[in-house]
Amino acid sequence: MADLLPTELFAFLLVFSRLGAMVMLLPALGETAIPQRVRLIMALSISLLIYSSVRSILPPMPASPIMLAVLIVFEVLIGVLIGSAIKLLMSALHIAGTIMAMQTGLAIAQAFDPAQGGQSALMSTFLTLMAVVLIFITNMHHMMISAMYDSYILFPVGAELKMNDFAEIVVDTVANSFLLGVQIASPFIVYGLIFNIGLGILARLMPQLQVFFIAMPLNIAAGFMILGIVLAAAMNWFLQYMENAMSVFLYQG
């Protein structure tokens, strides 16, 4: 037992270093609205579950403390990179919500967005919170846990970390998230363009008319009407995009 216990503790620490970093950053599982103790317990539980499956492929405990520290730092780095890459997927809804708020005159309404960790447009907060709910409803968080397990096949412990591949994944994720955000908000972009052109023409035809006071309530009401029409399709589109993007971290062999 004296020889076995340190070895098992070292192996569990390696697993917890990677998975703990991922849990703290993943959307839905690592939201700042969840208390830190709950996230810690969740990380320990998932680590214990996955540890039993990956114990046979973990390397032996190194004799040098420096090599042990380096190994743990690399595991934390892998967890941070994977968790951050998946969390960037939520930025699509943040971009879409910001564009929607600007086009409907609601950009001044700010609220705390747990996904972004700061103040953002109320529409962005609404979309990101709805996405978190849908992730749990559709059991997509199971896919995140599967990605944690498959990360040990794609990125073995102690193997060379290919930063070029990670950088390419992050750049593609940011670009695709921005594109998806603009596509989700495209009905509002078209509506805002037509509405503002109409207001400009009306202001030129009737200079005495107080266009701003008449247009603001109509703009907000029409924005909510369009949101009610496109919301279901937009969230379904986002969930499909998130599922396809997370499949990059799943072992397909």
pLDDT for 29 equals: 80
Kind plus residue range of the DSSP H or E element containing 40: helix 36-54
What are the pLDDT digits (tens) for 60-109?
888 788 888 888 888 888 888 888 888 888 888 888 988 888 888 777 77
Alpha carbons 128 and 114: distance in angstroms, whole number: 8
Model confidence at 188, in pLDDT bands (50, 70, 90)? very high
Cα–Cα distance list, 222 to 184, 207, 219 (Å): 17, 24, 5
Mean pLDDT (the chain, rounded): 83
Question: Which is more confidently placed, 172 or 3?
Answer: 172
Higher-pLDDT residue of 161 and 53 is 53
Q: What are phi and psi of 32, to 5 degrees?
A: -65, -20
Distance of CA 92 to the CA centre of its chain: 9
Q: Taken in order 53, 57, 58, 60, is the CA torsion positive or negative?
A: positive
Q: Which of 19-23, 47-51, 117-121, 233-237 shows the lowest per-residue confidence on average (mean pLDDT)?
A: 117-121
* pLDDT score, position 3: 57
Distance CA 243, CA 248 (A): 9
SS3 of residue 21 by DSSP = helix
